[in-house]
Chains A and B, each alone.
Chain A
């Protein structure tokens, strides 16, 4: 009889002959304790198969992206001849790879030195964009939805490529826009199907934050005109990174992206929460969580990845005074169904931690056993109209609303681990919990 590992390796490799297969099965029946070893090896083998396929696909995608780099640049040159400044006009017909984007929304846009009045549906030509003030949202032919915030200097190369010289933009690429690439001085960001934000400083540093899905970041090396893919990293949802030609790739813990729009201060945070980490990140890159010092109040934005829902007092009541001014941690609504989700808070001083749990579902064990229900409720909303059909939702003129129960716990300095908002696999409708922390001695 061969050794266990050798037999299992032969089975995984599909190289056991008929006699060996029978011998293998007999051996498993005689030594049932080895079945776990086989199943573990088999699970890992399948995970490895999938990982290698993803890894190799990405490698070849990265290669072809590099080879195609100069085609878009030619297109950009043509667009520059066509138009030195962004021009627009009304169009009634549909366009396919037309070299035009469609305006989705615009607020007080100053393009170059000209104040422009845009309205939804107008066409916007590819080419340089110099946004001096305001906010401009465009939909490209590829389905990529761009939100640009002034001040911004960029060049729309085509419907799959953009060069960002300085400024901030968010991109939601959708299914058709996978591979959408943002070139920056510090490197290239290739979208693998996601919503991400990118911010480029005039001094050449780029910062990218991923709200959902994945992007690939190819930092450029010093003295090289293009990234060679060697230092390539993949950022998953909730992760952020900063990179520059001089300093290379670094972690970016505090996200200033779209700071004003999101209501997140980009100032240094030195409150009661030292660190917020979950178990979903890679080894050196961590999800970022919006921490707003003293941000808990009527109308505070609830989540990092949701633009609308906000915390409000329960119907007919005042916002609880004892909660007002607590430091707020904006969680990710999209993590609500992750059964193995763990969120660790590191506190620098004794504090009260508040959890706002969806009142529609039974509270999970970690909440029931570790926290106390204060008996207070908050409302959160408005949610997307799609939620209107869910049970326990109150539908109002501006959309659906939910009630949450406020749970609390006094915590000593150090680490506190929270879990998933789910109690059962079949919890059909649950929102992600919200969090706030208040120092105990204030």
Chain B
């Protein structure tokens, strides 16, 4: 049983790590209800094992390691995760995620600004992909475009947003 103090520490660390873990799982599972289950299981395992956690080490890699095992268990049981890598590739993918994700942690607000600047036509494609969760074939039907063109449009829009975010962050840092 964790002390009240440990529970508070756990809550703080998990609250900070949870968005990154959630993004990581979603990138591999692509199904929000499954990700929700996996996140819940991950949090439970972390909580149960929190007394073993070495406080001298960062929390995120530990949490991601647990999430990866939950993901592997789910994959073994359900065999439904189409985009899953083999074990070795998954290990490396997870390691790189732990390393790279914190570098992008300050981009969320800039991304909101950049989304607001997108032309309506591109925003519509983005909305269909990321809000309504449709793939390029479904978007193509809805907008009477070719699926290949939708993929190119999405790719260019992502690129445009990435450049905008870098400009926004650069401007912010330049002014700081």
Residues in chain A within 8 A of chain B (CB atoms): 5-6, 9-11, 13-15, 21, 25, 28-29, 32, 35-36, 38-56, 234, 236, 277-283, 337, 339-340, 342, 344, 389-390, 415, 424-426, 428
Contacts and interface: CB of A to CB of B under 8 A. Distances in A.
Contacts of A234: 112
B136 A13 contact: yes
A35 B85 CA distance: 12
Contacts of B60: 425
Contacts of A337: 12, 16
24 contacts: A9-B155, A13-B154, A15-B151, A28-B89, A32-B92, A39-B96, A44-B104, A47-B104, A47-B107, A48-B126, A49-B130, A50-B108, A51-B108, A51-B112, A52-B130, A52-B131, A56-B127, A277-B175, A279-B106, A283-B113, A340-B102, A415-B176, A425-B59, A426-B57
Contacts of A428: 5, 8-9, 12, 55
B92 A35 contact: yes
B166 to A, nearest CB: 11
Given A43-B27, A281-B109, 19 more contacts: A29-B89, A32-B92, A35-B93, A36-B96, A36-B100, A43-B100, A44-B162, A46-B23, A47-B104, A48-B161, A51-B112, A52-B129, A52-B130, A56-B131, A280-B106, A282-B109, A389-B5, A426-B59, A428-B9
Interface of B: 4-5, 8-9, 12-13, 16, 19, 23-24, 26-27, 30, 53, 55-60, 82-83, 85-86, 89, 92-93, 96-97, 100-102, 104-113, 115-116, 126-127, 129-131, 135-137, 147, 151, 154-155, 158, 161-162, 168, 171-173, 175-176
A424 B97 contact: no
Contacts of B135: 13-15
A16 B71 CA distance: 21
Contacts of A10: 151
A389 B162 CA distance: 45
Nearest to A29: B89
A56 B130 CA distance: 10
B7 to A, nearest CB: 11
Contact of B5 (A11, A35, A390): A390
A115 to B, nearest CB: 46
A279 B112 CA distance: 16
Contacts of A48: 111, 126, 130, 158, 161
Contact of B172 (A49, A50, A236, A281): A281
